[in-house]
Amino acid sequence: MGHFIEGVVTEICTPFTRDGQIDWEYLHDMIRWQLDCGIRAFFVNGYAGECHELTLDEKLAVVAAVHKVAHPRGAKIMSCSFENSVPLNKALIAAYEEQGLSDCYCITAPPFFKFSQAALLDWSAELIDFAQRPVYIYNCVEQAVLYEPDTLAKLVAAHPNLRGFKDASTNVVGFQQCVLRIDPEEFDFLGGCDGFDGIMVLLGAVGCVSFMAVPFPREMIEIVEKGRSGDWRGCIEAQQKVLRIRNIVKKTPFNAGWNWAMQYGFGRPTVSRMGEKQDWVPFEVKLELDELMVDLGYDSLGERIARDELDDVMEAAKAAGMASFR
């Protein structure tokens, strides 16, 4: 059967204007730039894409916008369905099916409440069988439960439409237990944590789904290509370069640091729909990131880095114990 998805899959952000509308021009330009950098697959309407901020119609429109630019150049689209119930997931998958622009889908475990592995298997199986295109599972620590290796193996054995597994658990033993049970030559194991993707590739993954690939696609491609070629030392060096970036951008709320970092390669920052306080990058973090970027060969942002009123507001909130986000 071979691999359906491999290499770096960019987990795209959804860009917005300052008044909260989707920035379609930015989105089209970003996808073109990603393709020019060598990306050939996109993870659309995921958590980093602020799927929780999008209506169903907006999710379909984002898929259509990505498809318009990506499809003529042979890139694939993995459309996400991370809804809160089986009926809501089925409604979104059915809408994707009717639209006909997605190459495959990604589902994840139910949110909020702890599920047993037996219940998780039933939840997943119903959605996998409902979809008419290949399905991938996102093993996500933010969900209520993670997929155990035996649960994944049972799903793969009984549901041929399940083609891959994005593992963001960073549990190296758990991942190897999955590879022990499922043939990695016939199933698409994908890394799911930007600080760990190189290790995943060296241990059997054929690529990764990466939010770091939004601002830094070439760096993520280097990790995967060196890992898959057997250059373990080069893979680890490339991973550590990305880890240095990640250590800095993780000092910001949610995806704010990644959004700000878009200026280094793409030339423009991304705006979130979650509000300016959630999109805040502290002045000191901007300086720290800029120093690293120069060290890695990028041009400094120079005068674009400056204190503003939001820094004062958020520092006052921090002093009052209201600015913690980790």
Q: Does residue 326 surpass a pLDDT of 60? A: no
How high is the pLDDT of residue 325?
65
Q: What is the DSSP string of 106-119?
A: EEEPPSSSPPPHHH
Q: How far is CA 226 from the centre of its chain?
A: 21
Entry pTM: 0.96
CA 188 – CA 190 distance, rounded (Å): 6
Q: Where does the chain hold its CATH 3.20.20.70 domain(s)?
A: 7-231
Total Cβ atoms within 10 A of residue 71 = 13
**Bridge partner list, 136:** 106, 164
- What spatial distance separates the first Cα and last Cα of the chain, rounded to whole Å? 42
Q: Cβ distance 312 to 319 under 8 Å?
A: no
Cβ-based burial of 261 (10 A; exposed 0-12, middle 13-18, buried ≥19): buried
68 φ/ψ angles, rounded to the nearest 5 degrees: -55, -35
Q: How far is CA 170 from the centre of its chain?
A: 15
Q: Was domain 7-231 assigned CATH 3.40.50.1950?
A: no
Average pLDDT, the chain: 96
Q: Does residue 304 surpass a pLDDT of 80? A: yes
198-227 per-position pLDDT tens digit = 999 999 999 999 999 999 999 999 999 999
233-278 per-position pLDDT tens digit = 999 999 999 999 999 999 999 899 999 999 999 999 999 999 899 9
CA 224 – CA 228 distance, rounded (Å): 6
303 DSSP 8-state letter: G
Total Cβ atoms within 10 A of residue 326 = 6
